[in-house]
Each structure stands twice: as structure tokens, then as C-alpha cells.
């Protein structure tokens, strides 16, 4: 820690002085409420308990739990002690949970009561773990209750640098093995300022914290709310009617949206007396129809964005109406460029790999030196995503790089995202995912798995011809399959791996 350093704990301490009586956190399930003074007091006590239990700077704290006040306190206490939070996606299978925990080698593991059986069964695979803590109550003599940990605030805290690690969030790897992205305090605080910059929010403004705290968007939106001394209204799990009630009760002004969250809120409003009028700022990814309906209803603004866990969530952020369909312009404290395979920067309008610089770029993948050298080559972070920047500086996302996601019918390169963007302009199609399937003649053919709009029954042959009329005919699907819904990842995006496993043959 030096004169130029700051950490998330410094933000906690600042708010306790400047906004002690302002509401910091409300748990909607338990009605647990804390002011900024309360939060600082509880963070200090928990930090004291963790240090007494033997926590050292740089140690990892694994967490397998749904959103709660206690969970967010851990982020504050980790920041105070120099520890690194290792939040685990509770939607993963038990084996996947074990892989991610073992990769981070935590010394402490915290869990909700419902996930304690998983942690218990994994203990033999986690030799570094010295303490297991249940957020509610202990299940055996090997488990500590969360309430037993808080102690007196320590007389002195360890030195923590802005460049020190704060959180490890696992992302899917190209080869199927998850990689832990290490984000620093500087990453967190730089990225957290961006929604504040765009929203012009004020102390006391409420944010609906509905995305999981193991997800980069859920965590960073909650932290961003702390940066302007706002009020986080926490939901352990999204429920549209309940969210409607919370939005009206607390005059919620912002949230992060992955489909179908916003659409579910709009649908819930049709049968509710509650209002969405206070919800003036929504960031995320959704379809044009839902975005337009939200903006027309509330007069609010939907913000298009592009980002990754590795880039602290935000690299572009702009009002959707500035350029519908684009991913927004680069944020004020970062740079985005488009490069070819030789890392030569491409001019406007040409498609290549999206590369990024700036204070939001992560410190690297945990214990992955070769991966880091490749990702950070030539002083850029290489995202592995394709895109182009138009003459007005807007980024247009174009899917993954060829080696990561590519269909080659007859040797031609077809990016799934391009075909998908055309498919969803069809009057009868709500959503589509495009994959490659084996083909005797062309080696690989294009298959589209589509969800029809309610009340619509599009014809496969017509859909194929529709695409062929919009883009090069070799890019049109050879097969179209209709399904009621698509399997999804934790962030709401379609799970391409599951879709390909289910529909990867031409007769499925």
C-alpha cells in the first residue's frame, strides 16, 4: 500500500465517513438492512475474525452461495485483509465446482446450507482448505458457523496494493478447461466508475442486484453502486413479480439485463399493479423488440455494451438508440482496436479480432503463464472475439475467432453470429443459434436451431431461402430445427456446447 494506492476497502471506509446513514444493502428475502456505517463495522469485525482464524494476504476464500449480505461482506473483508475471493457458480455440477475450487486452492470455503453437502463431499479433493464455514449454521464438527467468525476490528490491517488480486472468476476455456481470471482492486474500481459516468447517479439511488455475485456483471454492478453510495437491493434469485414489487418499493433506477430478464419484467407488468417507471437505466444484452418495449414504456435508456470477465465487464457502453444493433463505443478509460492475424490494426469497417487496453484488463489467468503470454502478446489483451468498428467508432460484434467458432462448408468461412443476426430478422423467429454439422459432400454444413415467436409457425424451407436472400447463399442454413427453448449459461446466453451436443447431427 502506497500513497497512490486504493482498494475496495478504501471505498468501504470512505462511504462510512461520507455517507454513514445512507442505505447500503437490503436483502429482499430476509429484509436485512445495512447502512454504510453498518457495513464498515461488519466488514471490520469479519476481517478481524478471518485474521484470527489464520487468513494471510493472497490467500483465497472460496464461496459457494447465493447472493446475500454476508456474501458481499466477504468481498469487503477480503479487501481489508488482502485475500482473494474465489466465487463459484452454484449452477455448475459437483465435479465442475470441485475443479474450480481446486484450481484456486482456497484456504477457507464459505457456503450456503443448501450447498454444504457438495462442499462436504469435495473436502478430500481440497487439501488446502483449513476452514469450512456455513453462512447459516454448522452441519458437523468440521464446519464453522458464520456468526462465530466476527471478532473485534483488528488494530492494524495488512498492506494492500491497488494492483493486488481481489477476485478470481472462472471462465470457460477454448479447450473446455475453465480458467480463473484474476481481477485486481484497480480493475474493480476503474470498471465500477463507468455505469456511474453514464447514468449520472446520485447517493441513495437504488440498484436491483439480481445477477449472481459469482458473475462479473453481478459483482461489478454491486460495486459500482457502492462507488456513488447507492442502495443495493439484493435478490438471491430472480423472480419477475417480486422484482416488479422491489423496483416500485425502492424506486430502483438501474439493473443489468441478460435475456430473458427484462422481457420477464415487461410480461409481469401486464398482470401487476406495480410500476417500472423508476427504472431509467438498463445495461446488457437483449433483443431489439424487448429493448424498444422497455424504452417506450418507461422513457428509460437501454445501454448496449461489450465486455468480458477478463476486461472487468465493460469495454464499450453507449445508449442503444445511438446505434441500434451495435455494441456501443469504447469507454472513456480504455481503448479497443481491431487487428488481423499478424496484430496489424485494421481500418474502419474491416472485421478482425477485438483487442483491448486499459485499466480494466485483468491481471491474467490463475497459474496459466502460457495462456497469459498468448493473450497479452504485443501489449494488447486478445479477446478471441471478432468485430469491426464503423466510421463513427461503434463496435459491431461478429462472434468468436475462426479457431474458436467457425463453420466451413466447402472450405468457405462462415461465422455463426452473422447467420444468427439475419435469422432473428425473420418475422417468425425469436432466437436462433447456428452450428456446424457433418456433411458428406461439403464436409460441414450449417444448421440453425430456432425458437419461433409466439403464435408463429415459420417454414424451414422459407427460412433457408430468407437467409439466402440476405447474405451470400453459401452462408444459408442447410437444415433448420425448431425448439421450444434453448439451454442457457448462467449469464443467460444460449449454451452452445449443449445445443451442439443435442442437435449436432443432421437428423436431430
**Domain locations in the chain?**
8-184, 238-327, 337-390, 409-503
The pLDDT value recorded for residue 95 is: 81
CATH 3.40.630.10 is held by the domain 409-503? no
Count helices and strands (H / E) in the chain: 14, 23
Quick check: 167 and 296 in contact, CB under 8 A?
Answer: no
Complete edge-to-edge strand list for the sheet that includes strand 206-209: 32-35, 23-27, 231-234, 206-209, 252-258, 281-285, 301-306, 316-319
In this prediction, what percent of the chain has a pLDDT beyond 70? 96
Query: Cα(475)–Cα(408) distance, rounded to whole angstroms?
Result: 10
Cβ count within 10 A of residue 507: 7
Query: Cα(259)–Cα(432) distance, rounded to whole angstroms?
Result: 13
Q: Give 29's pLDDT tier (boundaries 50, 70, 90).
A: confident
Quick check: 311 and 383 in contact, CB under 8 A?
Answer: yes
Sequence-ordered alpha helix ranges (H) in 53-208: 69-81, 94-104, 116-122, 185-199
Mean pLDDT, the chain, rounded, equals 91
CATH class label, 8-184: alpha beta
Quote the DSSP letter at residue 136: S
More confident residue, 409 or 415: 409
Which stretch of 99-113, 154-168, 175-189 has the lowest confidence by average pLDDT?
Answer: 175-189
The pLDDT value recorded for residue 123 is: 93
In this prediction, what percent of the chain has a pLDDT beyond 90? 74
The pLDDT value recorded for residue 443 is: 72
The CATH number fitting domain 337-390, selected from 2.60.40.10, 3.40.190.10, 3.40.30.10, 2.30.38.10: 2.30.38.10
Mean pLDDT across 231-242: 95
The pLDDT value recorded for residue 497 is: 83
The CATH number fitting domain 238-327, selected from 3.40.50.150, 3.40.50.980, 3.30.420.590, 3.40.50.300: 3.40.50.980
Q: What is the pLDDT of residues 305-324, one digit of tens each?
A: 999 999 999 999 999 999 99
The pLDDT value recorded for residue 507 is: 62
Cα 243 to Cα 17, 27, 287, 328, 377: the distances in Å are 31, 12, 20, 27, 44
Residue among 26, 25, 484, 489 nearest 258 (CA): 489
pLDDT(115) > 80: yes
Residue 99, CB half-sphere, CA atoms under 13 Å: how many?
Answer: 14
Same CATH topology for 8-184 and 238-327? Answer: yes
pTM attached to this predicted model? 0.82
Which three cell numbers, joined as nine digits, stand for 36?
454504510
Sequence-ordered alpha helix ranges (H) in 200-329: 216-227, 240-249, 261-269, 288-298
Quote the DSSP letter at residue 173: -
Cβ count within 10 A of residue 419: 22
Helix (H) or strand (E) holding 319, with range, is: strand 316-319
The pLDDT value recorded for residue 396 is: 96
pLDDT(424) > 90: yes
Quick check: 169 and 221 in contact, CB under 8 A?
Answer: no
Amino acid at each position: 500500500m502506497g500513497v497512490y494506492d486504493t482498494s475496495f476497502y478504501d471505498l468501504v471506509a470512505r462511504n462510512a465517513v461520507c455517507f454513514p446513514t445512507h442505505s447500503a444493502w437490503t436483502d429482499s428475502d430476509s429484509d436485512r438492512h445495512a447502512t454504510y456505517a453498518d457495513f464498515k463495522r461488519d466488514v471490520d469485525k469479519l476481517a478481524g475474525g478471518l485474521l484470527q482464524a489464520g487468513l494471510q494476504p493472497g490467500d483465497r476464500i472460496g464461496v459457494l452461495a447465493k447472493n446475500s449480505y454476508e456474501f458481499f461482506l466477504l468481498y469487503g473483508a477480503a479487501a481489508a485483509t488482502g485475500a482473494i475471493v474465489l466465487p463459484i457458480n452454484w449452477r455448475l455440477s459437483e465435479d465442475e465446482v470441485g475443479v474450480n475450487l481446486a484450481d484456486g486452492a482456497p484456504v477457507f470455503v464459505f457456503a450456503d446450507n443448501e450447498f454444504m453437502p457438495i462442499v462436504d463431499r469435495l473436502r478430500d479433493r481440497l487439501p488446502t482448505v483449513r476452514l469450512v464455514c456455513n453462512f447459516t449454521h454448522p452441519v458437523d464438527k468440521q464446519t464453522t458457523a458464520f456468526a462465530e467468525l466476527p471478532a473485534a476490528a483488528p488494530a492494524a490491517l495488512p498492506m494492500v496494493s491497488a494492483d493486488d488480486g481481489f477476485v478470481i472468476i472462472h471462465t470457460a476455456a477454448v479447450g473446455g478447461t475453465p480458467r480463473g481470471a484474476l481481477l485486481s482492486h484497480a480493475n474493480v474500481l476503474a470498471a465500477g466508475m463507468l455505469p456511474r459516468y453514464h447514468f449520472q447517479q446520485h447517493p441513495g439511488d437504488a440498484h436491483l442486484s439480481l445477477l449472481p455475485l459469482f458473475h462479473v456483471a453481478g459483482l461489478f454492478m454491486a460495486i459500482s453502486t457502492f462507488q456513488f453510495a447507492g442502495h443495493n437491493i439484493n435478490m438471491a434469485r430472480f423472480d419477475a413479480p417480486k422484482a416488479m414489487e422491489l423496483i416500485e418499493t425502492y424506486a430502483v433506477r438501474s439493473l443489468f439485463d441478460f435475456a430473458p430478464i427484462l422481457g420477464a419484467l415487461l410480461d409481469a407488468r401486464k398482470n401487476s399493479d406495480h410500476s417500472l417507471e423508476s427504472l431509467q437505466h438498463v445495461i446488457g444484452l437483449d433483443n431489439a423488440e424487448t429493448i424498444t418495449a422497455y424504452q417506450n414504456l418507461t422513457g428509460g435508456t437501454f445501454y448496449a455494451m461489450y465486455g468480458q470477465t477478463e476486461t472487468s465487464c465493460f469495454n464499450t457502453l453507449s445508449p442503444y438508440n445511438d446505434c441500434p444493433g451495435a455494441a456501443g463505443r469504447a469507454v472513456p478509460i480504455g481503448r479497443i482496436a481491431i487487428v488481423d492475424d499478424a496484430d496489424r490494426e485494421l481500418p474502419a469497417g474491416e472485421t478482425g479480432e477485438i483487442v483491448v487496453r486499459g485499466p480494466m484488463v485483468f491481471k491474467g489467468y490463475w497459474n496459466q503463464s502460457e495462456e497469459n503470454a498468448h493473450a497479452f502478446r504485443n501489449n494488447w489483451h486478445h479477446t478471441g472475439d471478432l468485430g469491426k468498428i464503423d466510421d463513427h467508432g461503434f463496435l459491431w460484434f461478429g462472434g468468436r475467432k475462426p479457431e474458436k467458432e467457425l463453420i466451413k462448408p466447402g472450405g468457405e468461412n462462415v461465422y455463426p453470429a452473422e447467420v444468427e443476426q439475419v435469422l432473428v430478422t425473420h418475422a417468425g423467429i425469436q432466437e436462433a443459434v447456428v452450428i456446424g454439422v457433418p456433411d458428406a459432400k461439403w464436409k460441414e454444413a450449417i444448421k440453425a436451431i430456432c425458437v419461433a415467436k409466439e403464435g408463429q409457425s415459420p417454414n424451414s424451407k422459407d427460412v433457408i431461402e430468407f437467409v439466402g436472400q440476405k447474405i451470400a447463399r453459401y452462408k444459408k442454413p442447410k437444415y433448420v430445427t425448431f425448439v421450444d427453448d434453448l439451454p442457457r449459461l448462467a449469464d443467460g446466453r444460449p449454451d452452445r456446447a449443449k445445443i451442439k451436443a443435442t442437435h449436432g447431427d443432421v437428423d436431430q
